[in-house]
Amino acid sequence: MLLENVRKEIVSYSRKLIESGLTVGTGGNISVFDPDSGLFALTPSGMDYFDMEASDIVVLDLQGRVVEGCRKPSSELELHRIFYEKRPDIRALVHAHSTYCTVLATNRMDLPASSYLVAFAGKNVRCGGYASFGTRELAELTFQAMEDRQAALMANHGLIAGGPDLMRAFDVAQQIEFCAKVYVKALSIGKPVILSDQEMESMATRFGSYGQTVKKEDE
């Protein structure tokens, strides 16, 4: 089976979409790009994540042609494909219908630097223009909104987050949803204080080396 380990990882993280509250039902989709083969693996359309197996994950080429898999790929195929075509720094994408990001996106609002954690995505998180789901137009508008960023809001729709691997893309999605929740609640009781670009640049640099480095046993 092509990209077997990648497909297993996608199944695991798809279930986390539900368990973490980032989406409901069969909403959202996940993909991972393999630069060695030039192929990417994508969740199938409209399938319960807890019924899904690795063999249900669809493998496609960068032209959007199915290379392996018996399922219909996610309707947001174009949304994933455009990033793998044009953003070599992004090798995994998580698209979710998370509540607070969708609240902001419904109001066509960006998520400003209301928390230093926004720096996981960039200085802020922009909201892209609206287009119908599954269209190339939506993919292009979202791609523009995510320029120089690791996440974007999709007008009246939800959130997309990317990263060099699926673990980090998923982490960005969780962090940005948390920041959106805090920002929406802060708006309800006052005027949130926004951090400076300088502070956010500093945070982005620090996040670049955030976490643990695993040492080899013989070191």
What superfamily does domain 4-207 belong to in CATH? Answer: Class II aldolase/adducin N-terminal domain (3.40.225.10)
Predicted pLDDT at 211: 54
Residue 216 has pLDDT above 90, yes or no: no
117-150 tens-digit pLDDT: 999 999 999 999 999 999 999 999 999 999 999 9
Handedness of CA 19, 23, 24, 29 (dihedral sign): negative
Predicted pLDDT at 208: 77
Catalytic positions are: 76
69-117 tens-digit pLDDT: 999 999 999 999 999 999 999 999 999 999 999 999 999 999 999 999 9
Alpha-carbon gap, residue 207 to 211, rounded angstroms: 8
Residue 214 has pLDDT above 90, yes or no: no
Residue 213 has pLDDT above 50, yes or no: no
Q: Calculate Rg over the CA atoms of the chain.
A: 17
> Cβ contacts of residue 154 below 8 Å, gap of 6+?
95, 105, 127, 128, 138, 142, 145, 160
Handedness of CA 57, 91, 39, 85 (dihedral sign): positive
What is the rounded average pLDDT for all residues in the chain? Answer: 95
Alpha-carbon gap, residue 173 to 166, rounded angstroms: 10
> Which run of H or of E encompasses 56?
none
Question: What is the DSSP secondary-structure string of 77-124?
Answer: HHHHHHHHHH-TT--EEEEE--HHHHHHHHTT--B-SSSGGGGGT-S-
- Kindly indicate the confidence band of residue 49, based on its pLDDT and cuts at 50, 70 and 90: very high
Token look-up 């996608």 returns: 10
53-73 tens-digit pLDDT: 999 999 999 999 999 999 999
144-178 tens-digit pLDDT: 999 999 999 999 999 999 999 999 999 999 999 99
Q: What is the Cβ-side half-sphere exposure of residue 166, based on CA atoms within 13 angstroms?
A: 21
- The type of residue at 191 is K
* DSSP E strand boundaries for 130-189: 151-154, 158-163
Predicted pLDDT at 189: 98
pTM comes to 0.93
> Which run of H or of E encompasses 68?
strand 66-68
> Cβ contacts of residue 153 below 8 Å, gap of 6+?
101, 104, 105, 109, 110, 111, 125, 126, 127, 128, 145, 159
